[in-house]
Chains A and B, each alone.
Chain A
Amino acid sequence: MSIDISETLAVERGSEPAPPVVRPRMSGRKWLREMGWRHLIGIAVVIFAAFPLVYVLSASLNPTGTLTGSNALFRSLSLENYVALFTDPNRPYAAWFANTMVIGLVTSVATVFLGALAAYAFSRLRFTGRRVGLLSLILVQMFPQLLAVVAIYLLLRGIGDVFPVLGLDSQIGIILVYLGGALGVNTYLMYGFFNTIPTSIDEAAKIDGAGHARIFFTIILRLVAPILAVVGLLSFIATTSEFVIASTLLSSNEKLTLAVGLFRLVSNETNTNYPVFAAGAVLAAIPVMALFLWLQKYIVGGLTAGAVK
């Protein structure tokens, strides 16, 4: 997944124009002509959009354990597949989930920190190479890391010969690789937000005798908290759904992330493994979707400013 950004963090746009206060009721026929087709399209789209998700939910609750059986939607319900998910050592779902969380959290926290440091430098300090630096960051973010996946794999294989903890099949190794993308994608977004914090705040603190580190850590970081949250969230989502690099670097079953583990599970023998996969997918999706729907208005507002899924 790639996240593209623009300079400003969009605040929620005024959602809809206020409805007219008094609305004369339409006649049935007029309603059909002007509104009815809109509802038909609405219903068709909702089916297209939501059906696959309903299907997964139904498949996850189906006790027959095959894809064929899942076609009878919600005919019989059981939690068998969810139990199977956590009891079969051949598919260590709990470990995959934990790995994904650890890799996602560490990467996003570190990304936020590295990005904020760099954004502070670009926003507040004046130095030779500043403009070039900013431009190169825009340039770098046009080339996603996955294009160099072959080189990344060989580089980590080489590193692993010397330091096995940082090499292939290591979670520290993959986090380090993800951090290579920390500056490219997020600094510009943060830079724009840092610029909206008036420099007079820094000046005042400086007069009061605060050093640069104190200004950064205790004053600026608090003021830019919203953008830190946004970048953290975007980075977390991007990291947890990353597949290419994770699937080349991680190999042993208990070290996989959800994306790689579930892919390997369902792409082999789709028919027999699908219901268990469906259970795993539902569990993985619930927190994400809950978060999304909860933050919906902010995300929807921010979208027009340019986050791409």
Chain B
Amino acid sequence: MTTTVPKDSKATRKRGIDAAPQSMKVLAVKILLLAIVDAVAVFAMTLLFFRGDWLVLGLVAVVTLLVNIVYLSPGLLPGKYLTPGLIFLAVFQVFVVVYSLYIAFTNYGDGHNSTKDDAISAIVLQNTQRVEGSPAYRVQVVEGPGGLGLLATSPEGEVLVGTQQQPLQPADPASVTLEGDRAVAVAGWTSLAQQDVLQRQQEVAALQVPLSDDLSDGFLRTTDARNAFVFQSVFVYDETAGTMTDTTTGTVYSDLGNGQFETADGDVLGTGWQIVVGPENFLYPLENPRFGGALFGVALWTFAFAILSVGLSFFLGLFLALTLNDPRMRSRKVYRVLAILPYAFPSFLSALVWLGLLNTEFGFINEVLFGSANIPWLTDPWLAKLSVVLVNVWLGFPYMFLVCMGALQSIPEEVTEAATVDGANAWQTFSGIKLPLLLVSTAPLLISSFAFNFNNFNTTYMLTRGGPRMEGVTENVGHTDLLITLVYKTAFEGGNRDYGLAAALSIIIFIIVAVVSAISFRQTRALEDLH
């Protein structure tokens, strides 16, 4: 945002503010806060420097510099007030949207999590076998700043130390403590006692220390924390050809530009890497008609769910407002307080409460109200839809009740009186005068309520997790899924997380929300003009 000072009379006034003497206390607080921010930033930049993340480092540096300029220079008053909030907004609201867009064009997901180099070393590391007849190294498990490592005494008596990241290197003989012919301690490393090793058994068992920089030389692995053997990977990566060879079968896997190693006949190695795949994720529903059909169903249901929820709660609320707001009813306040209880109840608990009530085998509704029937409220496609809407209406009608009551009270008496004088009956007064007035005043609330329910994750997910699952679709799509629950399930549930596809789906929601908002914004404008 530009923060130049406009050159008009206000500029003079602004200079007047800044010129006012700043108390020492304010100045001290300001400098202290800036110092903390700078210290954290420098710490972050140091870490980033050692990791070689130049882009992020540059960004942090620029932002820190800007923050310092904004707070240390005398002008830039709007900047002083806007910067803190804008930084959070930029990172966690604006950037994440742009980042979603990027992810939507990649194959990011299980099996495609990282860079090609990471994938290569993962494949090599995950497929090691003991080299037949390799000599035993006597080892001691040690811990250093880089994590667990091995202090190994080679069969020739040479003492070496290394970790998973750092290949074995000869240790300075002067700093090594020997116990018999086995090195047990070395300066700069803590030796793990036997019970510590037992406690961290899995970590120790997974530890593979490369013999040298070349991973194909092999690794030291230990099972008992006393003896280690040389393991070599079944897979060998050929850097010049860019291929991965399985040495047991002789199969050659190569990179065909799909972010994975594969053979010509379609054999694929499980670990791949992240690449940009273009519009593939957006085309996925079209190329897989079953999923495409399911997605279309989900989109339709999302609209239906939002419209039904808003519509039903609105009409129930309106009906109640008309019924229970009769001034002759003495107990109407009691009814009102009790009827809005669902609104006061924390919303994240509501769906879970109904989860128990609607339980097929043991729930109150089946057991008591329907005499031990086993009605599948949450597991039958249509009943589950009904249940989700019912629960959402339960959550939403008190709000509509309150809103309608307020709106009805704000309609002037004279209007209805005039209608009565003109000979309109009660129904005509209501449908011809009160209802249109009510709709005009509640329209913005109905629209925002629609927008909220369009992405009402909690009710659906907590009640049915989007289920019951649609049959005939390989992907995990359910009959009560909303678009947003489908995004969540695609990204975070099940064995095959697909961030790319999930991000593409969320971009679709973005577009729908944008279109709906634009239309409704125009409509409300039209309504306002009417007024």
Contact = CB atoms under 8 A, between A and B. Distances in A.
Interface of A: 1-2, 4, 6, 13-14, 16-17, 19-20, 23, 26, 34-35, 38-39, 41-42, 45-46, 48-50, 52-53, 55-56, 59, 66-68, 70-71, 114-115, 117-118, 120-121, 125-130, 132-133, 140, 142-155, 162-163, 176-177, 179-184, 187, 206, 209-214, 216, 237, 240-244, 248, 258-259, 262-263, 266-267, 270-271, 274, 277-278, 281, 284-285, 288-289, 292-293, 296, 300-301, 303-304, 306, 308-309
Nearest to B108: A154
A301 B402 CA distance: 9
A97 to B, nearest CB: 12
Given A117-B82, A147-B509, A180-B91, 16 more contacts: A121-B81, A125-B14, A125-B78, A127-B78, A129-B1, A143-B93, A143-B513, A151-B100, A155-B92, A180-B88, A183-B93, A211-B20, A211-B26, A212-B17, A241-B347, A267-B465
A114 B88 contact: yes
B506 interface: yes
Nearest to A42: B335
Given A180-B88, A248-B492, A300-B402, A118 B457 contact: no
A155 B14 CA distance: 40
A127 B6 contact: yes
A121 B14 CA distance: 12
B346 A263 contact: no
B390 to A, nearest CB: 10
Interface in B491-522: 491-492, 499, 502-503, 506, 509-510, 513-514, 517
B21 interface: yes
Contacts of B487: 147, 149-150
Interface of B: 1-6, 10, 14, 16-18, 20-23, 26, 44, 47-48, 51, 53, 56, 77-78, 81-82, 84-86, 88-89, 91-97, 99-100, 103, 108, 320, 323-329, 331-332, 335, 337-350, 352-357, 359, 361-364, 367-368, 394-396, 398-399, 402-403, 406-407, 409-410, 444-445, 448-449, 451-452, 455, 457-458, 461-462, 465, 484, 487-488, 491-492, 499, 502-503, 506, 509-510, 513-514, 517
A180 B96 contact: yes
A238 B341 CA distance: 18
Contacts of B503: 150-151
* SS class, residues of chain A in contact with chain B: helix
B491 A71 contact: no
A52 B349 CA distance: 11
B349 A284 contact: yes
A142 B484 CA distance: 15
A12 to B, nearest CB: 10
A262 B458 CA distance: 13
Contacts of A45: 320, 324, 335, 339
B37 to A, nearest CB: 14
A35 B332 CA distance: 11
Contacts of B352: 262-263, 266-267, 277, 281
A246 to B, nearest CB: 10
- Among B324, B349, B510, the one with the most A-chain Cβ atoms within 10 Å of its Cβ is B349
A148 B510 CA distance: 9
Closest 7 CB pairs of A and B: A180-B92, A304-B406, A121-B81, A292-B344, A4-B448, A114-B85, A148-B96
A143 to B, nearest CB: 6
Given A149-B487, A296-B337, A182 B103 contact: no
Given A128-B4, A266-B352, A284-B349, A293 B344 contact: yes
B81 A125 contact: yes
B94 to A, nearest CB: 7
Contacts of A187: 85
B445 A308 contact: yes
A8 to B, nearest CB: 13
B491 A288 contact: no
Contact of B100 (A114, A128, A150, A244): A150
22 contacts: A2-B451, A14-B409, A17-B327, A38-B323, A41-B323, A42-B323, A42-B329, A42-B331, A45-B324, A45-B339, A52-B342, A52-B357, A55-B357, A143-B510, A143-B513, A145-B92, A147-B100, A148-B506, A151-B96, A180-B96, A211-B26, A281-B353
Nearest to A303: B402
Contacts of B353: 52-53, 55-56, 278, 281
Nearest to B507: A147
A180 B85 CA distance: 8
A234 to B, nearest CB: 13
B519 to A, nearest CB: 12
Contacts of A67: 356, 359, 362-363
A280 to B, nearest CB: 9
- Among B48, B345, B359, B506, the one with the most A-chain Cβ atoms within 10 Å of its Cβ is B345
A15 to B, nearest CB: 8
A126 B11 CA distance: 9
Contacts of B1: 129, 132-133
A114 B84 contact: yes
A296 B53 CA distance: 52
B100 A148 contact: yes
B499 A68 contact: no
A285 B349 contact: yes
B20 A209 contact: yes
Contacts of A179: 88, 92
A308 B451 CA distance: 10
Contacts of A278: 353, 356
B17 A303 contact: no
Nearest to A13: B406
B6 A41 contact: no
B364 A55 contact: yes
A142 B93 contact: no
A284 B78 CA distance: 41
B2 A128 contact: yes
A142 B462 contact: no
Nearest to A47: B338
A28 B246 CA distance: 93
Nearest to B463: A267
B165 to A, nearest CB: 14
Contacts of B457: 146, 243-244
B458 to A, nearest CB: 5
Contacts of A309: 343, 347, 395-396, 399
Contacts of B465: 267
- Among B53, B84, B320, B348, the one with the most A-chain Cβ atoms within 10 Å of its Cβ is B348
Given A148-B97, A179-B92, A39 B356 contact: no
Contacts of A263: 348, 352, 462
Contact of A118 (B81, B356, B509, B513): B81
A176 B56 CA distance: 18
B402 A117 contact: no
B20 A35 contact: no
A112 to B, nearest CB: 11
A206 to B, nearest CB: 6
A270 B82 contact: no
Nearest to A117: B81
A181 B92 CA distance: 8
